[in-house]
Amino acid sequence: MVLDFLSEYNLLKILGTVYLRYSSENRFKRIALKNKGREAEQKHRAGVKESDDNRSSGKLRSKRLRTTVIVASFLLILTIGLFVWNSSNRTPPDSGQQPGLEVPKAAILDGLYSESPNITFSQTLTNYLSAAGYTVDIFRGENVTIDLLRNIAGYKVVILRLHSTIDPDFRNLYVFSGEAGGGLRYLINSLYYSSLATLLSVGLGIPLAYAHGSRARFLPPLSSIMVLLPLGISSITVAYGLMTAIAVPTGLNMNPWPIIVLAQTIIGLPFTARSIEISRRNIDPLLIEQADALGASRLQRLFFVELPLLAPGILVGAVFAFAMAIGEMSATLFIALPQNLTLAVAIHNNLDVRNFVEAGASALILMFTCVLAFLTMEKVSGGSVGGALKW
């Protein structure tokens, strides 16, 4: 009986041990399967979230690219329109009668009449010329326009009472008209020159930013010199170099508006190139590698991957270049003739003669234009500027 009982007890104990081990293994397997299921679900959710983030990021880059293209198109259209308007806005000479061939004609151009009238001067010359058989036309003050000076060749005798200057070589005499500036002319000149300078700064800033990150030995130092050199040189020196090297040999000193645009471009180029370079550094290299892995060509990678990512930096650089160009005064004052004056130069000229009202009005317009440019930058970029404005 005892042996039977012990044998039965041992058998039951063995059976219980086997059952407990079997149930523990099943429990561990169920826990492992459950954990695997949770990990798979988490990976699936992470993949869906990542795809959604990539999709939204792609939409944001596409939106920024479209915005940049729209802004660039607007600036280009504005520049072309201002150029056409400036070219077509020419008035014929304000003369009393057309020069004839039978009776000799004489003209008296008194451009100083508005600020320093001299009636005796005009009457005395008129009497002498009339006695000599000339028909005399008198142009005073604002009637002495640029177009009149250009089309004065029909007169036999021309007497000038104008502000004038002679170049250092004593080869050319420069005379200034007496027409009133101001109005929309200063504003149109400022917008026209600064828009062209902005487009040139962006066009030069992009290759300079890429050259600064190039692996070639000589390109990064050369691009750094080209970007930083204008910051260490006076704008008067830049203007003098452009006038001596380009304007005088090519004849642009008679109407030097392209030289003004070049000077403003050089002054604003460091800020544009720096902004674009910062945005280029913030591009994730994995995106470039993925584009190459997908078979994108160099141009496709540039226009569809890199430029959308550079759009905030390009926009910031363009706004900085525009603000620097429209507010530039020293180089423009050195280069410009009366028909090329801008708002900044107008402020200087008005302050020089203590005309504080017109100087304040010009300064208010200039400040409003710059503030509007920066607000447009913040609105278009949505507060994301690629790190170019991080403090």
Please write down the HEC assignment for all residues of 330-389. Answer: HHHHHHCCHHHCCHHHHHHHHHHCCCHHHHHHHHHHHHHHHHHHHHHHHHHHCCCCCCCC
- Please check whether residues 186 and 160 belong to one and the same domain: no
- Please check whether residues 198 and 163 belong to one and the same domain: no
Domain end among 143, 175, 207: 175
Tell me the pLDDT of the chain (391 aa) as tens digits: 544 544 544 555 555 555 555 555 555 556 666 666 666 666 666 555 555 555 666 666 667 777 777 777 777 777 777 666 665 554 444 444 444 446 788 888 887 776 667 778 888 888 888 888 888 888 887 777 766 777 777 788 888 887 666 655 656 666 665 555 555 788 889 999 999 999 999 999 988 888 887 777 778 888 888 888 888 888 888 898 998 898 888 888 778 899 999 999 999 998 898 888 888 888 888 888 888 888 888 888 878 888 888 888 888 888 889 988 998 988 998 888 877 888 898 888 888 777 788 888 888 988 888 888 778 777 766 555 444 444 3
Q: What pLDDT, on the 0 to 100 scale, is given for residue 159? A: 83
d(CA 64, CA 56): 12
* Residue 248: Cβ within 10 Å count: 17
The SS3 assignment for 160 reads strand
Q: What pLDDT, on the 0 to 100 scale, is given for residue 117? A: 74
- Please check whether residues 349 and 232 belong to one and the same domain: yes
CA neighbor of 303 nearest in space, from 46, 65, 40 = 65
Question: The tokens of 46 are what?
Answer: 């992470």
Domain limits for position 150: 105-175
Beta strand 164-166 pairing with 173-175: antiparallel
Q: What pLDDT, on the 0 to 100 scale, is given for residue 100? A: 43
d(CA 250, CA 254): 10
- Please check whether residues 240 and 312 belong to one and the same domain: yes
Q: What pLDDT, on the 0 to 100 scale, is given for residue 387? A: 41
For residue 348, being part of any structural domain is answered with yes
- Please check whether residues 156 and 200 belong to one and the same domain: no
- Please check whether residues 276 and 361 belong to one and the same domain: yes
- Please check whether residues 284 and 366 belong to one and the same domain: yes
Q: What pLDDT, on the 0 to 100 scale, is given for residue 92? A: 43
Question: The tokens of 155 are what?
Answer: 């007169």
For residue 13, being part of any structural domain is answered with no
Rg (CA), the chain: 38
- Please check whether residues 194 and 308 belong to one and the same domain: yes
Domain count, the chain: 2
CA neighbor of 192 nearest in space, from 340, 331, 335 = 340
Torsion angle of the four alpha carbons 24, 26, 30, 35, in this order, in degrees rounded to the nearest 10: 60
For residue 74, being part of any structural domain is answered with no
Whole-model pTM? 0.57
Domain end among 154, 175, 196: 175
Provide the CATH number for the domain around residue 123.
3.40.50
Structure confidence by residue, pLDDT tens digits, 173-224: 666 655 555 557 888 899 999 999 999 999 999 888 888 877 777 788 888 8
- Please check whether residues 362 and 279 belong to one and the same domain: yes
